[in-house]
Structure 1
Amino acid sequence: MQSERLIFRNFNLDDLEDVYEFGSDKEVSKYVTWETHKSLLESEKILKDIFIANKYIFAIVEKNSNKCIGAFEFMPEIKNNSLCFGYVLNRKYWNKGYMSETLNFMLDYAFNYLKVNRVYGMHRKENIASGRVMEKCGLKIEGEFEDAEFLKGKYITLVYRAILRKNYKRG
């Protein structure tokens, strides 16, 4: 699968150095649920046990460099015909429109190929950039949940955003 500047594919062992690059960046990992990767060996275990093992986690690959710059995950809710999503992007590629391009592509894939009714995601309240990406792609705030999770030693507030098939703008 591909968009204008990106390729979306399954992860493989050749992605190890790239996964370590974004996984070991404290600025990147402060907004995700997992801890900062401390070694290449730790990244390899995560790559094998999580990224490669899950067919719904896609490597985000920049076409020009063929570099894996991040990951996008769908978490299906079959009973509800909906998908939750999560993503991470190498800090060197922030503010270049890559995540908006990724989310727009994945929304199109979810609604037009997978035929789901609802797609939603959440972000930490202080992660304003992630909120802007979701808003730009048409997701509306459904709620803000104070102290919703205890993560990395503190309670965090989560903002939930979603878009329904009937509200999705095609093409």
Structure 2
Amino acid sequence: MESFTYLLVEHQIIRTERLILRPITLADAKGMFEYASDEENTRFVFDTHPSIEITRQKIAEYFVASPIGKYGIELAETGKFIGTIDIRIDPMNRSGCLGYVLNRDYWGQGFMVEAGRAILDLAFQTLQLERVYAMHDVRNPASGKVMQRLGMSYEGTLRKSRYVKEEFVDDAYYAILKEEYNAK
């Protein structure tokens, strides 16, 4: 089997009905800053960006320096950058961790489920992973609803599992196995 890195490089652009998942560049700073500077949007995921320069730095350090498996979410119709989605691969265990953030102006419209399904297709059909999991701060049940709509099952809660915004948070974990994905 080809390496995960090679397969991800071959699939840097993924198209869905309404979205284009593609590499993130510094040109996306304005669109990312729209939600990264919004306290409500970032409340459960990362420190709010106080300036567009911080957003540019984060893009350079996280997305550009190591782009494999990390995608910007763009509306196909308008080209508007509305969020990010990524899959971090654990090659030894043939598993992946799904992460995502969406501009709250686009919440409740099915965009994250659409993007998530595309990443699960990549994970199970192309990468041949056995398991994909995701987690969310327990105070953010809407993210758990996305995971459920992706066919993931609740596996448990890790107490004080991450330190975010100067406090320890509990994370609810969800996962889907290859056989569950294939049965859908």
| TM-score above 0.5 | yes
Q: CA deviation at 1:149?
A: 2.3
Q: CA deviation at 1:170?
A: 6.2
Gaps of 5+ in 2: 1-13
Q: CA deviation at 1:40?
A: 1.0
Is the counterpart of residue 69 in structure 1 residue 82 in structure 2?
A: yes
State whether residues 122 and 158 of structure 1, in contact with CA within 8 Å, keep that contact through their aligned partners in structure 2. yes
CA RMSD of aligned residues (A): 1.2
1:4-153 equivalence runs, <5 A: 4-32=17-45, 34-54=46-66, 55-153=68-166
Gaps of 5+ in 1: none
TM value normalised by structure 1: 0.95
Q: Name 1:160's counterpart in structure 2.
A: 173
What percentage of aligned pairs have identical amino acids? 35
Counterpart AA for 2:51:
S
TM value normalised by structure 2: 0.88
Deviating 4+ runs (over 4 angstroms): none
**Number of aligned positions between the proteins:** 170
Q: CA deviation at 1:151?
A: 2.1
State whether residues 75 and 85 of structure 1, in contact with CA within 8 Å, keep that contact through their aligned partners in structure 2. yes
Rounded to whole Å, the distance in 1 between the matches of 2:77 and 2:118 is 18
Rounded to whole Å, the distance in 2 between the matches of 1:56 and 1:170 is 25
State whether residues 60 and 71 of structure 1, in contact with CA within 8 Å, keep that contact through their aligned partners in structure 2. yes
3-state secondary structure, aligned to 2:92: helix
